[in-house]
Structure formats: structure tokens, C-alpha cells
Structure 1
């Protein structure tokens, strides 16, 4: 099977049952470190609900992401410009970021925008950065998706869990998502280094959060993100003006 990242031939590493019914094969690329499933014929069934029922951390994750993003965007990017949340789900994060004071917009091909209606992504606008959380592991064609993101901005801020080394067996790593069948692409540090080099970008690893960017940002300075636990995001928030009431007035005029 051909690797969807580097197009080299990869090798089957194991098989496992997903959705409690389909025995599928997983393939590993020795050249770029990527792991992928076989052609995911089961996705229509897996996505009967776009947010899977086992994702009990959805709200808590968005709270933590909004705090980390507040520090990251407020200190290292132009906080007064526009941002897009790609594969933004129900729009929870976009609404949170707008409430904080960032001009965030929503985009998602597969999920209904419930919380950020009226603030959908417009292709012709200019965006400082695009975020995409818990989506890379869902990409059927990762390179195509990344190239779509790079058309929006040359800074992509995203989250996914890196493959452990050695590659774990299905029973030993919950992130394979066997019960819901939506996770089909898995990346190593080596994979992201390959992608960054391919597009002449800098890659920054922040544990489960990652950045591809044309900007030069010191990884040492980014350690300040850990101060989220001590309320650093609140200091940054004081420099911003919430868009909650402004958005209310804007949407009220459209009724």
C-alpha cells in the first residue's frame, strides 16, 4: 500500500477489529513514520454522528484549548487579525475565542454550526492562522487537507497525539479509536518533520499541540504556554475586548 504522506510503499504492521465488526489492516511507512489504515470503507457508518458518543472530554478540551490559544495567539501572533477554526465541530471553540476577544471564524464540512452561526469562514479574507483540533487523525488524505489549510494561512495550529515508539498494538493505545472507527491517520515526530520540510515550514512540537508555521518562534519562549495552569491566559485576556455583546448586536440586526 502507498503511504499517504510520502507516497513510498509501506508495510502492514497489524490488524484489528473496529466498530466491533470489521477486521482492518494498519500500515506503517518506514520512510516518514506515518501509520494509516487500509482504505476506510466504513466511514459513512462511523460518522452517523460527527462527534462520537465516547468523546466525553469535548467541552473540557475546548476550555483548555481556549486558554492555551489565548496565550499563544496573544503573545506570538497578531491578536487583532482574523483566525479560522477548521473542522470546527459545533462551533464551541470559535464562540469561546470570540467571547475572549479574538476574531475567530468557523469552518466544517461535516458538522452543523450550532454556537458560532453568522461567523463562518469566508475564502477571500486574510487570516493570521488556522487552527484544527482533533482532526488530523480523521483525515482520509492528510496531504490534501494540509494543502487546503495552507491556502488559508501559512500557520497551522493543531492537535493530535504522536505515535509512541515503538508503535503500540491496538489493545495498548486507546487513540486508535477502535470503538468508533473515526481515527485512520497516525503521525510520528518524523512524519511532521517530513511535512514541514516538504512545505518549507517550521514545525514546533508542544506535546499534543503542534504548529506548522512560516514564522520563526523560539520553542524556548513557547514554554510560557505551560503557565496556563497559573492563570497566564487571564493576563492576556485583559488586553482584549470580548466580542460577545458586539456579536449579539450584529446578529440581532440580521433577524
Structure 2
């Protein structure tokens, strides 16, 4: 099997039971460290519920990520720019970021937009400053194709996915394999991220755990890490000095749209 990232040979790593019934082979790339499943024939069954029902950390994670993202945007990007949450799920993150004051939009072809209605991404809109995409990379059946699509929208991608430890964990030693829900089919090592960045001509900054940034901007790695670590202090500055929440203005806009629609 060829690696989906660098097209080198991927060798069998282990087999495991997915969704409690399918024997699935997992392959490792010796060149870039990427781990992938065999052709994921079980995905239609795995996505009967687009959002994993056992993901009880979804709300807390979005609040946490809103803080980290706000700090990053404050330090390195245009506060008045437009932003997109790609594979945005129910729209909770988009709503949180708009509540803080950022002009965020939502996109996800597989999930119903509940919290960010009327703020769906329009490809004809103005330039997107940065894309966020949290807990999505591990779901990509064709990672390079998905990343290329994102880069057509913006050269900056802030994303989360938990990096696979080296040496690779045994099937029963790493929760992130997600055998029980079957939705995780792509696993990245730090070396994988650097390979992707090299292929697309980007810089990569990572906390070597689960938060990562592909960007055209040359940044200082230590400053990047400091920004993430001190995000709780930075976000207070953002709220007090730089941005006005869009909560009320968004509500008024939606009311006006609904009024005009009903006339």
C-alpha cells in the first residue's frame, strides 16, 4: 500500500477490530511516519451519527479551542479579517468566535448547522484570513486532497489532531485509534506534518501534541508556544481592548432576515 501523504511504501503495522466486528489493517509509512487504515469500507456505518455520540468533551473542547484560537489571531493575524471553521460540526465553535468578536463563518457538508445559521461560508466571499479545522484531519480518507481544498481558501490552517506517539502504540494502548466508533482513519506524527508542509511550501508550527498551524507566515516557534500557553491572559486583552462581541448584532441581523422572509 502507498502512503497517502508521501506515496512511499506503507507497511502493515497491526490489525484491529473496528466497530466491534470488522477486522481492519493499519499501515505505517517508514518515510513520513503517517499511519492509515486499509480502504475504509465501513465509513457509511460509522457516520450514521456524524458527531461521535461518545464525544462528551465536545463543548469544553470548543471553549478551550476558542481561547487558543483567539490568542493566535490576536498575535499573528488581522483581527478584522474573515475566518472559516472548516468541518465545523454543529457550528458551536463559529458561534463562540463570533461571540468574542471575530468574523467567523461555518462550513461542513456532513453535519447540520445548529449554532451558526446565516453564517455559512460562501465561496464567493472575501479572502479568508485563516481556516480552523478541529478534530477533522484524523477523519480524512484523502488528507492531501482535503488540505489542498483548504489551501485554495486560505494559506493558513490552524487545526487539532492528536499526534501518534513514536514508537507506535499497540492497539490497546492508545485511545485515539477510536476503534469503537470507526471514524479515525488517519494518524499523523510530527514528521508527517513537516512532510505535508514541505509538499505545500508552508511553514509548520506545533505544540508536538495536538495543536498545529500550517502557514505562509514565518513565525518564531518559541513565541508560538508561548502564545498558546498564555492564551487565557491574551484573550482578556482581546475582549477588553480590541473586539466587540457580535452576539447582539448577529441576533438583530437574523431577526431582520426572518422578518423580511415572512413578509
Q: TM-score, normalised to structure 2's length?
A: 0.95
1:169 Cα shift? 1.0
Q: Do 2:105 and 2:120's aligned partners in 1 also have CA atoms closer than 8 Å?
A: yes
Question: Which residue of structure 1 aligns with residue 261 of structure 2?
Answer: none
TM alignment of 1:1-255, pairs within 5 A: 1-125=1-125, 126-206=127-207, 207-222=209-224, 223-229=226-232, 231-238=233-240, 239-255=242-258
**Secondary structure, counterpart of 1:111 in structure 2:** coil
Which segments of structure 1 move beyond 4 Å, counting only runs of 4 or more?
none
Q: Flag structure 1 segments of 5+ consecutive residues without an equivalent.
A: none
After superposition, the CA RMSD in angstroms is: 0.9
Q: Do 1:70 and 1:237's aligned partners in 2 also have CA atoms closer than 8 Å?
A: no
Which stretch has the larger CA shift, 1-10 or 79-88?
Answer: 1-10
**Secondary structure, counterpart of 1:254 in structure 2:** helix
Q: Do 2:205 and 2:213's aligned partners in 1 also have CA atoms closer than 8 Å?
A: yes
**Secondary structure, counterpart of 2:128 in structure 1:** coil
CA distance in 2, matches of 1:4, 1:36: 8
1:124 Cα shift? 2.0
User: 1:203-226: CA deviations, max 9, x gaps?
Assistant: 001231100000111112221321
Q: Do 2:75 and 2:227's aligned partners in 1 also have CA atoms closer than 8 Å?
A: no
CA distance in 2, matches of 1:116, 1:15: 40
Q: TM-score, normalised to structure 1's length?
A: 0.98
1:2 Cα shift? 1.3
CA distance in 2, matches of 1:15, 1:209: 28
